[in-house]
């Protein structure tokens, strides 16, 4: 079982990265293969809305030959994609938003090409936020659930921790155990599918 963790914070060693540590450790302990990808050190341009990818059959087909291609390869090889992200302005940082918009070439809905390069894969969220969980995360969770429905992906859950004291908030027993439990729950969920 292969997990692709895509970490979207501009802080490579910030809160979200800290929460990823026990989560990834637990996935590995339970036999999963894990690819951890950070976005802040990659070059991912915004989608130019040219729709060229919609006429390219069987491959991603984006005209922008940037780091998105290597990430798409990892997504295609994975069973589960975990979007690990802080909430910024009720959604996500620009790095993660660029990646989300660049999903276009994975779905062939709007041109001569047909099919999907990723349908059936599972998606989960690992989030950090400053405000209370529901108030902070609801818009992003709703958006990702809708993207999953739109793309025939299976949304399998979310775990989040509130930033009350920067890194220390993500090192508490509760946060760490919660991340580990979430990892095990995703593996169980994937085994059912």
Ligand X SMILES: Cc1cc2nc3c(=O)[nH]c(=O)nc-3n(C[C@H](O)[C@H](O)[C@H](O)COP(=O)(O)O)c2cc1C
Return the residue of 2, 11, 21, 145 that touches ligand X, per CB under 6 A.
11
Q: Which of 105, 125, 117, 123 is nearest to 8 (CA)?
A: 125
Tally: H helices and E strands in the chain: 5, 5
By beta-carbon proximity to ligand X, the closer residue of 10 and 157 is 10
Determine the size of the site formed for ligand X (CB under 6 A). 16
Site string for ligand X, 22-61 (x = CB under 6 A): ----------------------------------------
Q: Give the burial class of 134: count Cβ atoms within 10 A of its Cβ; 0-12 exposed, 13-18 middle, 19 or more buried.
A: exposed
Can residue 16 be called a binding residue for ligand X (CB under 6 A)?
yes
Rounded-to-integer distance, Cα 190 and Cα 4, Å: 14
Q: How far is the CB of 11 from ligand X (least distance, A)?
A: 4
In the window 129-158, what residues touch ligand X (CB under 6 A)? 129-131, 136
By beta-carbon proximity to ligand X, the closer residue of 9 and 151 is 9
Q: Which of 149, 67, 85, 74 is nearest to 117 (CA)?
A: 74
Return the residue of 31, 49, 89, 174 that touches ligand X, per CB under 6 A.
89
Rounded-to-integer distance, Cα 40 and Cα 44, Å: 9
In the window 158-187, what residues touch ligand X (CB under 6 A)? 163
State both tokens at 33: 């293969």
Q: Provide the binding-site residues for ligand X, judged by CB under 6 A.
A: 9, 11, 14-16, 86-90, 128-131, 136, 163
């Amino acid at each position: 079982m292969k997990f692709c963790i895509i970490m979207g914070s501009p802080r490579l060693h910030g809160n979200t990265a800290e929460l990823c540590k026990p989560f990834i450790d637990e996935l590995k302990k339970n036999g999963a293969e894990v690819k951890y990808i950070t976005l802040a050190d990659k070059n991912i341009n915004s989608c130019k809305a040219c729709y060229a990818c919609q006429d390219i059959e069987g491959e991603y087909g984006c005209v922008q030959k940037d780091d998105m291609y290597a990430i798409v390869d990892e997504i295609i090889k994975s069973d589960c994609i975990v979007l690990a992200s802080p909430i910024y302005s009720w959604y996500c940082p620009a790095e993660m938003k660029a990646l989300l918009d660049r999903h276009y070439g994975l779905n062939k809905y709007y041109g001569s090409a047909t099919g999907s390069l990723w349908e059936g894969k599972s998606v989960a969220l690992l989030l950090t936020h400053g405000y209370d969980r529901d108030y902070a995360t609801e818009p992003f969770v709703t958006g990702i659930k809708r993207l999953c429905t739109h793309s025939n992906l299976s949304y399998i859950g979310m775990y989040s921790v509130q930033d009350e004291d920067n890194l220390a908030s993500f090192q508490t027993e509760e946060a760490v155990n919660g991340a580990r439990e979430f990892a095990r729950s995703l593996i169980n969920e994937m085994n059912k599918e």
